[in-house]
């Protein structure tokens, strides 16, 4: 079964968990990696790896970096683990990030790249996941996540932007990935503010 069909099946099983009817396209995956400013020597975490389009892009952009990919859905994590044995794929939620990074041997990381459906979650879930991200980022670390063009004007997306602004000294937007369906842009978050 193709990645797109697997993703669609999982969306219909639980839309709040999967968040989209299709995996991120190549254009958006590359925009995420470009926005993350990946380079050798970094330690990278991916949240919501799904079927792995962003995971594969990370490997193309930075083949040697230690990479931890979180995907709580076993039906998506299992095939990704088999397809990419050099990536540590863990069936866990973003809130578990501090413990997982500690166990991984990298309590602080350089980059967190997220494909999570932030705006589908209640505010307390958003906050706890973002707090976990900030907790593991190095002072010069960078967090990137995406939003669909137009959807960023909706109230839930505006609340997410407010949560990002509270946790990062700088939040900017990338150019639009027009070839993605739907078109999307990347939030680039730097200068994490520790609680």
Residue-wise pLDDT for 167-181, tens only, equals 999 999 999 999 998
pLDDT band at 152 (very low <50, low <70, confident <90, very high): confident
The pTM is what? Answer: 0.87
Q: What are phi and psi of 129, to 5 degrees?
A: -70, -45
In this predicted structure, the answer to whether residue 33 has a pLDDT above a threshold of 70 is yes
Beta-carbon neighbour count of residue 4 at 10 Å?
A: 12
| Residue 113: per-residue pLDDT | 98
Mean pLDDT (the chain) is: 89
Domain 3-192 is in which class?
alpha beta
Looking from the CA of 166 toward its CB, the CA atoms found within 13 Å total 12
Q: Are 66 and 106 in contact (CB under 8 A)?
A: yes
Q: How far apart are the C-alpha atoms of 17 and 24, rounded to whole Å? A: 15
Q: How far apart are the C-alpha atoms of 49 and 158, rounded to whole Å? A: 24
Residue-wise pLDDT for 69-85, tens only, equals 999 999 999 999 999 99
């Amino acid at each position: 079964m193709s990645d797109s069909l697997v993703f669609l099946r999982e969306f219909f099983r639980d839309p709040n968990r999967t968040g989209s009817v299709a995996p991120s396209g190549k254009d958006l995956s590359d925009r995420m990696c470009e926005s993350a400013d990946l380079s050798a020597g970094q330690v990278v975490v991916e949240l919501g790896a799904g079927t792995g389009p962003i995971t594969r892009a990370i490997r193309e952009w930075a083949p040697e970096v230690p990479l931890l990919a979180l995907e709580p859905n076993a039906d998506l994590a299992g095939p990704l683990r088999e397809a990419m044995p050099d990536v540590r794929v863990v069936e866990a939620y973003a809130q578990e990030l501090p413990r997982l990074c500690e166990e991984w041997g990298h309590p602080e990381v350089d980059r967190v790249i997220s494909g999570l459906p932030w705006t589908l979650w209640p505010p307390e879930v958003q906050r706890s996941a973002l707090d976990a991200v900030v907790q593991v980022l190095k002072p010069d670390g960078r967090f990137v996540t995406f939003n669909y063009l137009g959807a960023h004007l909706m109230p839930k997306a505006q609340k997410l932007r407010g949560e990002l602004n509270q946790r990062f000294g700088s939040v900017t937007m990338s150019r639009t990935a027009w070839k993605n369906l739907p078109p999307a842009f990347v939030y680039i978050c730097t200068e994490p503010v520790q609680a």
